[in-house]
Structure 1
Amino acid sequence: MTKRNPEETNLRLLEAASTIIAERGVDALTLDAVAQAAGVSKGGLLHHFASKETLIARLIEYNFATFETDLAQSLDPEEPVGTPGRWTRAYIKVSFATAARASDIGVAFALMTRQRPDQVRTIAASTSRIWEELDHDGLDPVQSILIRSAADGVYYNEMTGNPPLPEPLRTHLRNALLDMTYATTTITLEGTHP
């Protein structure tokens, strides 16, 4: 009999949970359903995740870690470290690419905020690391916040279950945000409007 790799089993369980939420909604997320979808026994699932709450918390950690990995992999290797806008361009690309799978993360995150506020602090620390990179990306601070807010808006729009922006508008917005990362315009904090 072949012994399964615990890390592979853990990953299969997380992916099964994510798929169930995405395809059937959070109400369909049961330990039995996850175990069956992953091809493991319920006892095997409980070996990895002691409860549904633990599974949900780990699913959110996994999705945020995946976002961070995708972000690092999206950095253009042709651009030297320190090139203005390099991190922001990667952030835009990953935000738009992962927005389509954001609704399952959003539902799980909403559940977790009620059940595990301590876990929310862990996620906030992860987000702070990303924002630190973006804040020191060499772009005008106001411009950086505008770009980040627009990219986050697309992501959170889909995370909350709203319909995605229609194509080609979505692609045009993504490209406009990427173009803004190359601009050398300085936006004054004082503004010119009453």
Structure 2
Amino acid sequence: MASARDRVLDSFVAIVCEEGERPATLDAVAARAGVSKGGLLYHFGSKAALVEGLCERLSDLAALDVDRMRDAEDGAARYFVRNSQYVGSELDLALLAASRLQQAGYDEAGRTLDETEDAWLVTLVDALGDVPTAQAVKLLGDGLYHQASLGAASQTSPKPSTIDMEALLTVVDRVIATKPGR
């Protein structure tokens, strides 16, 4: 079973993703987590502390994802694109919640999102050897994620993708093969 701290943070993320930032009050988060308000305050002394906790979680999840990108058997570019579809994972939910918090004016959420995006791009640049090719791959993955996450944000469950991932990965291979210096 998840710790009370994790349940509180999971509840905060869920409310922000499902309803937005304003309904994610300390009372609502405590109720959804099944803890007293005092129990919530023990772990997170304010809503700002909840935002900070979410940002820490997102940073940790993004670092794990970057490690997986670097270690991917078929390469960082293919890994990034293949994993750029919204599937409701813990990383996806943290990204969605941080995006909504950024839109609500939480600067820390915006900084964490920027750091996450930068880490993915740097990893692609390191793997591919040039910035324009890495940017093209990143934008392709970002477009997939954007399309899928918009659908997920407007529905109770993500609809199945109509993207032919293998065909798209073939395009990624062509982009990489035609980069400068090859």
> With structure 1 as the length reference, what TM-score do the two structures score?
0.68
Kept in 1, the 8 Å contact 2:70–2:123? The answer is no
Show the counterpart of 1:92: 81
Is 1:39 matched up with 2:28?
no
The 5 A counterparts of 1:128-147 are 128-138=118-128, 141-147=131-137
Opposite residue 170 of structure 2, the aligned amino acid is: D
Distance across 2 between alignment mates of 1:59 and 1:10: 11
Show the counterpart of 1:191: none
The 5 A counterparts of 1:179-190 are 179-183=170-174, 184-187=176-179
Counterpart selection for 2:24 from 24, 29, 42: 29
1:48-77 Cα distance to aligned partner (Å, 9 max, x none): 112112212321331342233245346666
Q: Rg bigger for which structure?
A: 1
Structure 2: give runs of 5+ residues left out of the alignment.
none
Show the counterpart of 2:7: 12
Opposite residue 134 of structure 1, the aligned amino acid is: L
- State the Cα RMSD in Å: 3.4
Instruction: Quote the sequence identity (%).
Output: 25
Distance across 2 between alignment mates of 1:47 and 1:138: 46
What SS does structure 2 have at the residue aligned with 1:62?
A: helix
The 5 A counterparts of 1:99-110 are 101=93, 102-110=95-103
Opposite residue 147 of structure 1, the aligned amino acid is: V
Structure 1: give runs of 5+ residues left out of the alignment.
80-84, 189-194
Distance across 2 between alignment mates of 1:121 and 1:25: 19
Aligned residue pairs total 172
Distance across 2 between alignment mates of 1:42 and 1:166: 36
1:5-57 Cα distance to aligned partner (Å, 9 max, x none): 9x822211111111112233333211111111111111111121121122123
Distance across 2 between alignment mates of 1:103 and 1:123: 10
